[in-house]
Amino acid sequence: MHRRDFLRGSATAVPVFAAMAGRPRPAAAQEPAGLALPKPQIQGRPLLQALSDRKTTRNISEEKLSPQMLSNLLWAAWGVNRPAINGRTAPSAMNVQEIGIYVFLEQGVYLFDEKVHGLKPVLAGDHRAKAGTQTGVAKAPVNLLYVADLDKYRGLPAESKTAWSNAHAGFIGQNVYLFAASEGLASWFRAFVDAPAVAQLLSLRPGQKVLYGQTVGYPAKG
């Protein structure tokens, strides 16, 4: 697979979200265009081999992922694998599906729309440095932030909502780790995120809670 710059004119990386809204609308000044993703390729290495190779790697190259690789990564993380029931690749108690994945790329921040398998625009510009507080986050090609919409729960105490959402984010994070191991990528699940600053950056509602970050890219050489 060719490793192509995500910013360069891939025929698959085209605006799609204005059409989804039912009528065209101009993008805001600080909002990037939405991106369609290629159809995910679901063939891969055997699970036991991926488990054998699964590990945390913090030294990550700045080399960008191709649109196809990004597509496969996001589908593995939290994609729809049973369309008839909107079933996902990671479990969700009571099928609440409260986790949103914010994707920090060099050109902007996007929200993964699992149902159409695309990226919904959030912010234009490079905000990767705000996706974590540790060295290396700002230059890695992809940072995923897991945000729980606790308002989707009904009739549960606050501590249960948080506990369940932490478990759900962990399931997604493990999916990312296994995908990375199967594709020769590096992955780094992180708790060190300035949650209040991220919530302000993304204009999150009070009921949305920033949980964890996960950095993904090619391992740095040497």
Q: What is the DSSP string of 157-206?
A: -HHHHHHHHHHHHHHHHHHHHHHHHHHT-EEEEE----HHHHHHHTT--T
Residue 44, both tokens: 């891969």
At residue 31 the predicted structure's pLDDT band, cuts being 50, 70 and 90, is low
**pLDDT above 70 for 12:** no
CA nearest neighbour of 189 among 57, 91, 71, 79: 57
Using pLDDT thresholds of 50, 70 and 90, give the confidence band for residue 1. Answer: very low
Chain segment 185-200, per-residue pLDDT in tens: 999 999 999 999 999 9
Asked if 105 and 33 touch (Cβ cutoff 8 Å), the reply is: no
Q: Show the CA angle centred on residue 116, arms to residues 16 and 155, nearest 5°.
A: 125
Mean pLDDT of 36-52: 92
Q: Is the confidence at residue 19, as pLDDT, over 90?
A: no
Would the CA dihedral through 162, 109, 55, 76 be positive or negative? positive
Q: What is the pLDDT of residue 30?
A: 60
Which residue in the block uniquely carries the two structure tokens 């974590």?
132
Q: Which pLDDT score, from 0 to 100, does residue 163 have?
A: 97
Q: What is the pLDDT of residues 81-128, one digit of tens each?
A: 999 999 999 999 999 999 999 999 999 999 999 999 999 999 999 999
The pLDDT value given to residue 43 = 85
| Confidence label for 29 from pLDDT (cuts 50, 70 and 90) | very low
Nearest Cα to 176, choosing from 39, 87, 55? 55
Answer yes or no: are the C-beta atoms of 122 and 34 closer than 8 Å.
Answer: no
Least confident residue range of 7-11, 33-37, 39-43, 209-213: 7-11
Per-residue pLDDT at 22 exceeds 90: no
Q: Is the pLDDT of residue 55 over 80?
A: yes
- Considering the chain, what is the average pLDDT of its residues? 88
pLDDT of residue 17: 33
Tokens read off for 172: 């997604």
Tokens linked to 56 = 């945390």
pTM score: 0.85
Q: Residue 67: which pLDDT band, with cuts at 50, 70 and 90?
A: very high
Amino acid code (one letter) for 118:
G
Give me the CATH topology for the region 31-217: NADH Oxidase (3.40.109)
- Domain positions in the chain are 31-217
Q: How confident is the model at residue 222 (pLDDT cuts 50, 70, 90)?
A: confident
Per-residue confidence band for 204, with pLDDT thresholds at 50, 70 and 90: very high
Rounded Cα–Cα distance for residues 172 and 43 (Å): 19
